[in-house]
């Protein structure tokens, strides 16, 4: 018995040490200054809403226990686990019994038939009674002191919506690791979630919360009052998809704002496989996107349809109520959102890819029978000059794209300069879409093909016919012709690029 007891204490010690270690490890991910940040003494209470469909036992409970263990106790009023018609046995009576016995604050809500996470979140939100709604996925881990950084800005202004930083809990080892040090949420014109860089003024201000145009999805805090003023989610949105855009647009356009809180971190298991079949609801994502676009995006909806033309034919259903809501709340136009909040989105994800500013073959002015070629037997990576011809052994058609790179017409491969010391070769490398050592510029007036900041030019060796880089001196071997140069595009060029990267030197 004594022996056993000793063992028990030893195990307990080990457990505590282990616990302490992982606690410190998790703690470490937060910005250094988070530990000394002060929050309002009196913060609003919280109803946590967690929808789940066939979630695993351990991950579901990890969500609940991390919330309970890592929040000030008095702030958590209730946790709703909303069962979106799961079919696994253990999520029924076994879960009910476990919760009944161990988790006083947890309430299980059952949705009658599978209706998706939007309906499930709404079901939980409707029952909630606390000041603030916090939505979480069912496979998350709330990090150390995650809650006050979300609640403090809401307490000061109830129209503020807060998102935590989302970290990664590995799906195979359950290890917790940081995703990165944050970004602003955005989208492209196929409605894929994208990210924009944190603004310099916000970087300086770290770890204070910063404005973000759209939320990533399921992890956020909003005052119950503001959520319902905004009509919750559009109940016409089916299953999942587009709801994060709908709510984000509404928040911004209808008098609120959305912030990311660097000191609040929540780990999320990014799934490898969706463990459940898709419900048989047709193209529900297309329908959802269409609803969001029609109600909130004004003339910008057209860009979405240009990329996904079949959306035009999807019936979005009745939009009367959503449009009335927008009018009643006197919400701002989408143009305002795009120019004031997501002002750098168009530059990074242009709705219409600008035309290339030049294309075709590139030849030395003095030797127009030679063309730059990107296919040199085994040495595929080195550019050189070869007789102009169009056959399977040649690759002589290039595009000067709006990214300011020079790309092969037939492959996703760009002119690259790993080493910009004079006389170093120009090689081919996968395009990295803008900037760095793939930045080129053609001047039709001087016929120079300049690299990077403009001090060095494309040149060639008459003996080997290799292409290399050298100081621009205007010598004959630095003058090039390009088949077709779009003068109008060239003129717009600087304006476009200035918006993307800030003004650059004249080169
Ligand atoms: N979910 C749900 N019904 C569904 C699909 C998802 O209740 O039809 C839940 C799911 O269990 C999770 C949350 O909604 O808690 C978000 O879904 P998921 O994690 O699949 O989205 P992801 O994180 O992969 O974007
Ligand atoms: Mn998830």
Distance 483 CA to ligand 1 centre (A): 52
Q: Residue 269 CA: which ligand 1 atom is closest?
A: 23
| Nearest protein CA to atom 9 of ligand 1, as residue | 52
φ, ψ of residue 321 to 5 degrees: the values are -65, -40
Pocket of ligand 1, candidates 115, 138, 270, 272: which has the most ligand atoms within 8 Å of its Cβ, to mutate? 138
What is the predicted pLDDT for the residue at 390?
86
Beta bridge partners of 133: 47, 222
Q: Residue 139 CA: which ligand 1 atom is closest?
A: 15
Distance 171 CA to ligand 1 centre (A): 15
pLDDT at 17 over 70: no
Picking from 148-157, 345-354, 451-460, which range would have the lowest pLDDT averaged per residue?
A: 345-354
User: 444 near 487, Cβ under 8 Å?
Assistant: yes
| For residues 75-86, average pLDDT | 98
Any idea how long the chain is? 507
Q: At what angle do helices 284-296 and 320-328 cross, to 10 degrees?
A: 30
| Nearest protein CA to atom 12 of ligand 1, as residue | 137
HSE-up of residue 190 (Cα within 13 Å, Cβ side): 4
Distance 95 CA to ligand 2 centre (A): 20
DSSP readout, 311-356? GGGS-----HHHHHHHHHTTPPPHHHIIIIISTTHHHHS-SSPPPP
User: 379 is written with which tokens?
Assistant: 């040495």
Distance 114 CA to ligand 1 centre (A): 12
HSE-up of residue 397 (Cα within 13 Å, Cβ side): 9
Residue in 139, 144, 181, 131 with CA at minimum distance from that of residue 52: 139
Q: Is 472 exposed, middle or buried (0-12, 13-18, 19+ CB in 10 A)?
A: buried
- The ligand whose atoms approach the alpha carbon of 135 most closely is 1
What digits encode the pLDDT tens for the residues 333-389?
A: 999 999 999 999 998 888 887 788 899 999 999 999 999 999 875 555 789 999 999
User: 364 is written with which tokens?
Assistant: 């030395």
What is the predicted pLDDT for the residue at 9?
39
Q: Residue 55 CA: which ligand 1 atom is closest?
A: 11
What is the predicted pLDDT for the residue at 11?
40
pTM: 0.76
| For residues 304-322, average pLDDT | 94
Report the distance separating Cα 472 and Cα 77, nearest Å: 70
| For residues 8-13, average pLDDT | 39
What is the predicted pLDDT for the residue at 380?
53
pLDDT at 498 over 70: no
Pocket of ligand 1, candidates 117, 124, 125, 169: which has the most ligand atoms within 8 Å of its Cβ, to mutate? 117
What is the predicted pLDDT for the residue at 411?
87
| For residues 449-477, average pLDDT | 93
DSSP readout, 19-80? HHHHHHHHHHTS-GGGGG----SS---EEEEEEESS--HHHHHHHHHHHHHTS-GGGEEEEE
Distance 137 CA to ligand 1 centre (A): 7
Pocket of ligand 1, candidates 50, 53, 81: which has the most ligand atoms within 8 Å of its Cβ, to mutate? 53
Q: Residue 217 CA: which ligand 1 atom is closest?
A: 25
The enclosing H or E element of 498 equals helix 487-501
pLDDT at 195 over 60: yes
pLDDT at 309 over 70: yes
Distance 51 CA to ligand 1 centre (A): 7
What is the predicted pLDDT for the residue at 444?
87
- The ligand whose atoms approach the alpha carbon of 238 most closely is 1
What is the predicted pLDDT for the residue at 495?
55
Picking from 99-108, 318-327, 361-370, 376-385, which range would have the lowest pLDDT averaged per residue?
A: 376-385
Residue ranges of domains in the chain: 2-28+42-269, 284-348, 358-495
Distance 217 CA to ligand 2 centre (A): 9
Confidence of residue 409 (pLDDT cuts 50, 70, 90): very high
Q: Which CATH architecture best describes the domain 358-495?
A: Trefoil (2.80)
| Nearest protein CA to atom 4 of ligand 1, as residue | 116
Distance 175 CA to ligand 1 centre (A): 21
pLDDT at 4 over 50: no
What is the predicted pLDDT for the residue at 403?
81
Q: Residue 239 CA: which ligand 1 atom is closest?
A: 8
| For residues 297-306, average pLDDT | 95
Distance 271 CA to ligand 2 centre (A): 7
Report the distance separating Cα 420 and Cα 416, nearest Å: 10
| Nearest protein CA to atom 13 of ligand 1, as residue | 137
| For residues 272-296, average pLDDT | 83
Q: Residue 137 CA: which ligand 1 atom is closest?
A: 15
User: 467 near 384, Cβ under 8 Å?
Assistant: yes
What is the predicted pLDDT for the residue at 3?
42
- The ligand whose atoms approach the alpha carbon of 56 most closely is 1
pLDDT at 74 over 70: yes
Residues whose beta carbon lies within 6 Å of some atom of ligand 1: 51-53, 55, 84, 116-117, 120, 137-138, 217-218, 239-240, 271
pLDDT at 15 over 80: no
Q: Residue 268 CA: which ligand 1 atom is closest?
A: 23
- The ligand whose atoms approach the alpha carbon of 218 most closely is 1
Question: Which residues lie below 8 Å from residue 310, measured CB to CB, with a gap of 6+?
Answer: 286
Distance 338 CA to ligand 1 centre (A): 29
Distance 137 CA to ligand 2 centre (A): 5
Q: Is 460 helix (H, G, I), strand (E, B) or coil?
A: strand
Q: Residue 50 CA: which ligand 1 atom is closest?
A: 15
Percent of the chain with pLDDT over 70: 88
Confidence of residue 290 (pLDDT cuts 50, 70, 90): very high
What digits encode the pLDDT tens for the residues 169-189?
A: 999 999 999 988 899 999 999
What is the predicted pLDDT for the residue at 206?
95
Dihedral sign (CA 498, 500, 505, 507): negative
| For residues 435-439, average pLDDT | 84
| Nearest protein CA to atom 8 of ligand 1, as residue | 116
Dihedral sign (CA 207, 213, 216, 221): positive
Q: Residue 138 CA: which ligand 1 atom is closest?
A: 15
| For residues 84-100, average pLDDT | 97
Secondary structure percentages of the chain, helix, strand, coil, to 5: 35, 25, 40
What digits encode the pLDDT tens for the residues 22-70?
A: 555 665 678 999 999 999 999 999 999 999 999 999 999 999 999 999 9
Distance 276 CA to ligand 1 centre (A): 10
What is the predicted pLDDT for the residue at 14?
38
Distance 493 CA to ligand 2 centre (A): 41
- The ligand whose atoms approach the alpha carbon of 278 most closely is 1
Q: Which CATH architecture best describes the domain 2-28+42-269?
A: Alpha-Beta Complex (3.90)
Superfamily the domain 284-348 falls into:
ppGaNTase-T1 linker domain-like (1.10.8.460)
DSSP 8-state code for residue 305: H
């Amino acid at each position: 018995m004594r022996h056993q007891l000793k063992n028990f204490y030893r195990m307990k010690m080990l457990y505590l040490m282990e616990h302490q270690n992982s606690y410190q490890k998790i703690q470490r991910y937060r910005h250094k200054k988070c530990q000394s940040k002060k929050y309002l003494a009196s913060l609003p209470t919280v109803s946590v809403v967690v929808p789940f469909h066939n979630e695993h036992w351990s991950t579901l409970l990890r969500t609940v226990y991390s919330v309970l263990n890592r929040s000030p106790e008095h702030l958590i009023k209730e946790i709703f686990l909303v069962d979106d018609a799961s079919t696994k046995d253990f999520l029924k009576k076994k879960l009910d019994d476990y919760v009944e016995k161990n988790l006083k604050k947890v309430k299980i809500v059952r949705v009658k038939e599978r209706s998706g996470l939007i309906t499930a979140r709404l079901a939980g939100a409707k029952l909630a009674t606390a000041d603030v709604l916090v939505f979480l996925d069912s496979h998350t881990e709330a990090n150390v002191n995650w809650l006050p950084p979300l609640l403090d800005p809401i307490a000061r202004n109830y129209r503020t919506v807060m998102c935590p930083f989302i970290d990664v809990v590995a799906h195979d080892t359950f290890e917790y690791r940081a995703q990165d040090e944050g970004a602003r949420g955005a989208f492209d014109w196929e409605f894929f979630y994208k990210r924009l860089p944190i603004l310099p003024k916000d970087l300086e201000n770290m770890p204070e919360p910063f404005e973000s145009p759209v939320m990533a999805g399921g992890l956020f805090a909003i005052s119950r009052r503001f959520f319902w003023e905004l009509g919750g989610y559009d109940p016409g949105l089916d299953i999942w998809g587009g709801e994060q855009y709908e709510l984000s647009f509404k928040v911004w356009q209808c008098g609120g704002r959305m912030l990311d809180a660097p000191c609040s971190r929540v780990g999320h298991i990014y799934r490898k496989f969706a463990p459940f079949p898709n419900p048989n609801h047709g193209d529900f994502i297309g329908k959802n996107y269409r609803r969001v676009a029609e109600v909130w995006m004004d003339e910008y909806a057209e860009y979405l349809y240009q990329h996904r033309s079949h959306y035009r034919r999807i019936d979005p259903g009745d939009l009367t109520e959503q449009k009335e809501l927008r009018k009643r709340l006197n919400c701002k136009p989408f143009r305002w959102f795009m120019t004031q909040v997501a002002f750098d989105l168009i530059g990074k994800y242009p709705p219409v890819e600008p035309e290339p500013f030049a294309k075709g073959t590139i030849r030395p002015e003095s030797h127009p029978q030679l063309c730059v070629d990107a296919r040199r037997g085994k040495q595929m990576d080195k550019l050189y000059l070869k007789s102009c011809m169009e056959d399977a052994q040649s690759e002589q058609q290039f595009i000067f794209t709006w990214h300011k790179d020079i790309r092969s017409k037939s492959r996703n491969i760009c002119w690259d300069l790993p080493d910009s010391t004079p006389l170093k070769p120009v090689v081919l490398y996968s395009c990295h879409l803008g900037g760095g050592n793939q930045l080129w510029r053609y001047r039709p007036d001087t016929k120079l093909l300049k690299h990077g900041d403009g001090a060095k030019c494309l040149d060639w060796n008459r003996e080997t016919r290799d292409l290399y880089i050298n100081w621009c001196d205007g010598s004959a071997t630095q003058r090039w012709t390009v088949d077709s140069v779009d003068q109008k595009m060239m003129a717009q060029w600087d304006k476009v690029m200035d918006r993307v990267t800030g003004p650059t030197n004249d080169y």
